Amino acid sequence: MNVPLDQITTITSEALAALAGVESIEELDERVASIVGKRSAFAAVQKSFGSLEPDERRTMGAQLQEARRTVEVAVESRRAQLRAAQRAAMLDADRLDLGDVVVAAQTWPVSLGHAGLVDSTQAELEDVFVAMGFTVAEGPEVESDWYNFEALNIPPAHPARGMWDTFYVDLGDPETVVLRTHTSPTQVHLMEAAVANNSLPIHSVAPGRCYRRDTPDARHLAAFHQIEGLIVDRDITFADLAGTIETFTRAYFGPDIESRLRPAFFPFTEPSAEFEVTCTICRGTGCRTCSNTGWIELGGCGMMDPAVFEAVGIDPDVWSGFAFGFGIDRCAQMKHELSDMRALVENDVRFLGQFA
């Protein structure tokens, strides 16, 4: 019986069994010396070969080396196995749970997007005015100084320019091109076109985006929206203006909201008025949104100033008219009782989703 050979077979299978029981790389590192290293049965058996005959020692020594290499290879493959398992466990722990997303993707119909509150408010306002006999027009957001100011009876350096904190566009001579500060320049475009086409009278509204160098607060945005109204016809009086505003307010806000006109000044209308509604946040008692006045200004209005007619070549002895400009965002704010207008641009889906 070949005792050393049996011994080699036994310690090899014991080493492989021990290796299979190792559960982590740390444990493997700890135990590797006792499985194949200096403290292993391989080392002990090798020592015992000292008592063998030289020939037998050589043969058995070679056998032992080979068995040891087999175990060493097994150690490395176990290490690779453990590393892969550890990595998989780590990835598993880090994995995002996409279960909800998968469920949402499987739910049909998916919820579709919808118009934002400003867009839908603009559409509602247009509907109200179309029903009253107005047509809908549009004008550019980038204007020359002439359209935004000069033709509206606001000459260069006139102190009234301070009413509009203006963004200037870096184009042409300094301060000659602006982001429109109101929709009133569309009045000028409409009148010029009507003169050129000989198509007076005008009964139009023109909604669109405007820009002012304002710090956003509860009722201001630097990019906001207005809807301009312009009537140029014969024998138009302030009563027509007041009646139009009153009809609009009833139609858009309903009977619950009160409105008032207060004397004001605009260079392009005379007389001029400010159009206000009861603050819907506090119902008139005063709050942060209305700066404790109980009222919210929606816009301005007034009878066309003859100087504006003259700037575009309309005869003020034949034609008269009125104009108004309301904040669309303010209309949305008051109708939906939003205490802070900035909600309109913060893109919080919990807010937006209420107006589907």
Q: What does each C-alpha distance from 107 to 2, 63, 220, 349, 352 come to in angstroms?
A: 73, 66, 40, 19, 21
Residue 321 engages ligand PHE in binding (rule: CB under 6 A): no
Distance CA 303, CA 321 (A): 6
Residue 208 engages ligand PHE in binding (rule: CB under 6 A): no
Residue 299 engages ligand PHE in binding (rule: CB under 6 A): yes
Q: Max alpha carbon distance in the chain (Å)? A: 136
What order do you get walking across the sheet with 202-211 strand by strand?
A: 135-136, 202-211, 223-233, 320-327, 295-304, 269-278, 259-266
Considering only the stretches 56-64, 95-103, 235-243, 321-329, report the one whose residues sit in contact with ligand PHE under the rule CB under 6 A: 321-329
Instruction: Give the binding-site size for ligand PHE (rule: CB under 6 A).
Output: 12
Considering only the stretches 19-27, 32-40, 115-123, 299-307, report the one whose residues sit in contact with ligand PHE under the rule CB under 6 A: 299-307
121 vs 269 by CB, closer to ligand PHE? 269
What's the angle, vertex CA 175, arms to CA 173 and CA 181, rounded to 5?
A: 140
Considering only the stretches 38-46, 90-98, 109-117, 265-273, report the one whose residues sit in contact with ligand PHE under the rule CB under 6 A: 265-273
Name every residue whose Cβ is closer than 8 Å to that of residue 208 and which is 6 or more positions away in sequence. 138, 139, 141, 180, 183, 186, 225, 226, 227
71 vs 274 by CB, closer to ligand PHE? 274
Under 8 Å between Cβ of 327 and 299: yes
69 vs 262 by CB, closer to ligand PHE? 262
Residue 244 engages ligand PHE in binding (rule: CB under 6 A): no
Residue 147 engages ligand PHE in binding (rule: CB under 6 A): no
- Binding residue for ligand PHE (CB under 6 A) from 139, 207, 208, 325? 325
Chain positions contacting ligand PHE, by CB under 6 A: 182, 184, 266, 269, 272, 299-302, 323-325
